[in-house]
Structure formats: C-alpha cells, structure tokens
Amino acid sequence: MGTQNELTLVIGNKSYSSWSLRPWLALRQAGADFQEIVVPLRQPDTKATLLGHGPSGKVPVLKHDGLVIWDSLAICEYVAELYPDAGLWPADRQARAIARAAASEMHSGFTDLRRNLFMDLRTRHDVPERVAAAAADIARIQELWTDCRTRFGQGGPFLFGRFTLADAMFAPVCVRMRGWGVELEPVPDAYVSAVLDLPAMKEWTAAAAAEPWEIDYLTV
C-alpha cells in the first residue's frame, strides 16, 4: 500500500492512448514522483477495469489524497497547482491566457485529425487520403503553433518558450505529424522535433515499443 498522498496515474496503452500521454508528460516535466497503472484498451475487460478506476470509464485518471480526477486537461491543471515551481503555465498573464486557449482548442477540437490520424507510436502510416481528410485541422494547428512561437516563444523551443501544458496537450499531435508523414512548414516542423526530443517523450516512446498489445485502428 502506498502512502495516502501518493500520485497514481491510470493510463491506456502508451502506443495508442493520446489522452493519457498529456498528463503523463505534465507529471514528468514537473518532476513528480508518481505510480502508473496501464490499462490496455479494446480488451474484453477494459470498460469494467476503467469504471473501477474512475466515473467516466476512460483514461487518464489521476488518484491523489483520496481524490479521483478524470479528464486529461483537469489533471494537467491539478498538476500545475501541485507543482507551481514547475511553471507549467506561462508566468505572464497574457501568455497564460493564450496558452489556455491553445490547450482548450486542442482538448475540444481537431476531430478530423484525431479520427483520421490516430496515434500509433510503433507504426509509420502512409495513407495520403487520411492526411487529406485532416487538412483543415493541420492548417489550423500550424497557424496556431506559428503564432505562439512567434509571439511568445523567445525563451526556448516550445510554444511559450519553456515547456508548458500547451505543449503537453499537443505532444500527441506532434507524434501524429511524424507518424503519418505530414509535411510541415519550417516553424511547426522545428517545434515538433523539439517536443519529440524531450527525454520524457523518448521514455514514453521506448515503453510503447515494448508493449505486447496490438490494435489495428485502420480496421477496428
């Protein structure tokens, strides 16, 4: 049994669970000490197992101090409050407002991109029709990233310079851009490389490569 205030993050397979990657990366970047429980998706017992962890029956779920927090963005906010010195939101009020808008736009939108270009860390997909179907989302994301980098990115390689929750929210999109061979303009392309070069992203990717479960989202 762990101590009462131990942090436990319940996540899906690292190969496929894009929503799980976001708070996991936030916790790693904050330097948090946390346990993780991986629940493989699309198994016969997945739904029951997930409902045993949280009320939405979805991952991610964070457990802390008797509290169960579901939903990626709510968990990211909680981590930012637990670790204020990690600077998970920009210090400047205006930059912070735009970072929240960017994180929220990701959380609530880009459905064509999410549906067509699913995250699959172990496979490079070459399906131009799927990239074409997500073209409007890809264009908007490039515009958003370029705007953030240009206006707020002077202090580092991320959207707001140093790493923030906006980057955590877009990390799975960076994976998708490379995994589906999406051609990017120079500023978004450099941004994707910066995110994928994070040691925590390499750690997540290596763990994904070692997973035994396979889901073919092209056919399911």
The set of residues, in sequence order, having a beta carbon less than 8 Å from that of 144 and lying 6+ positions away, is 102, 105
If one asks whether residue 41 binds ligand GSH (CB under 6 A), the answer comes out as yes
**139/184 Cα distance (integer angstroms):** 9
47 lies in the binding site for ligand GSH (CB under 6 A): yes
Alpha helices per DSSP H over the chain: 18-30, 46-53, 72-82, 93-108, 111-116, 128-133, 135-152, 165-179, 186-196, 199-209
Q: Please identify which residue in the block is written with the tokens 């140093």.
A: 162
Closest distance between ligand GSH and the C-beta of residue 131, in Å?
21
- 87 torsion bin: left (phi>0), alpha (psi -120 to 50), beta (else): left
Pairwise CA distance, residues 46 & 58, whole Å: 9
- Shortest approach of ligand GSH to residue 86 CB, angstroms? 20
Using the contact rule CB under 6 A, the part of the chain among 24-32, 66-74, 98-106, 174-182 near ligand GSH is: 66-74
Measured at the alpha carbon of residue 209, what is the angle toward residues 203 and 212, in degrees to the nearest 5?
Answer: 130
Cβ closest to ligand GSH, residue 95 vs residue 173: 173
Determine, following the binding rule CB under 6 A, whether residue 176 of this chain makes contact with ligand GSH: no
Tell me which residue has tokens 């959207």: 159
What one-character DSSP code corresponds to residue 120?
-
Q: Which two tokens stand for residue 32?
A: 């948090």
Residues 69-128 that bind ligand GSH (CB under 6 A): 71-73
211 binds ligand GSH (CB under 6 A): no
Q: Which stretch binds ligand GSH (CB under 6 A): 40-48, 79-87, 94-102, 150-158?
A: 40-48
CB contact at 8 A, 17 and 66: no
Residues in the interface with ligand GSH (CB under 6 A) total 14
Strands (E), 33-150: 34-38, 61-64, 67-70
Decide whether 47 or 125 has the Cβ nearer to ligand GSH. 47
Q: Closest approach of Cβ 161 to ligand GSH, in Å? A: 25
Q: Name the one range near ligand GSH by CB under 6 A: 68-76, 98-106, 125-133, 186-194.
A: 68-76
Looking at the Cβ atoms of 103 and 138, the one nearer to ligand GSH is 103
Q: Which residue's CB is nearer to ligand GSH, number 40 or number 157?
A: 40
Residue ranges binding ligand GSH (CB under 6 A)? 12, 17-20, 41, 46-47, 58-60, 71-73
